[in-house]
Amino acid sequence: MLISEQEKEEILSKYYDNTSKEVENYMKRRFPISYYKFDWMAKPFIQILVVDELIVVDNNKKRLVNKIYHLISDDFTHLDENTIRRTIKMYLDVALSSKPD
């Protein structure tokens, strides 16, 4: 993923002090993001792999947050629900703003 430092800082500033690095790293390992860009496309097609199902990230952010939260909430019982959900939203926002290699 290619994203400028300034763009990354702007995205992360929305989530400052209310996310978990532990959950973010877990998300990166367990829920890979794929980018597809063809010559005729204005912007890349972004998908995330959730339980052997590729789901388009655009216009599905709320559904994805709920689905992923229910999958991983038992693994992070020491964190509150808000922190986990905000971290998932941050992960998806970074994916949406990134460009394919």
- Per residue in 22-69, pLDDT (tens digit) is 999 999 999 999 988 888 888 788 999 999 999 999 889 999 999 999
Task: Give 18's strand partners.
Answer: none
Question: Domains in the chain: how many in total?
Answer: 1
Q: Which domain holds residue 32?
A: 5-97
Q: What is the pLDDT of residue 45?
A: 84
CB-count exposure of residue 19 (10 Å: 0-12, 13-18, 19+): buried
pLDDT in tens, 70-82: 999 999 999 999 9
> What is the pairing mode between strands 53-56 and 33-36?
unpaired
Amino acid at 5: E
Q: Which two tokens stand for residue 62?
A: 């709320």
| E runs forming strands in the chain | 33-36, 45-50, 53-56
Query: In whole angstroms, how large is the CA radius of gyration of the chain?
Result: 14
Q: What is the pLDDT of residue 30?
A: 95
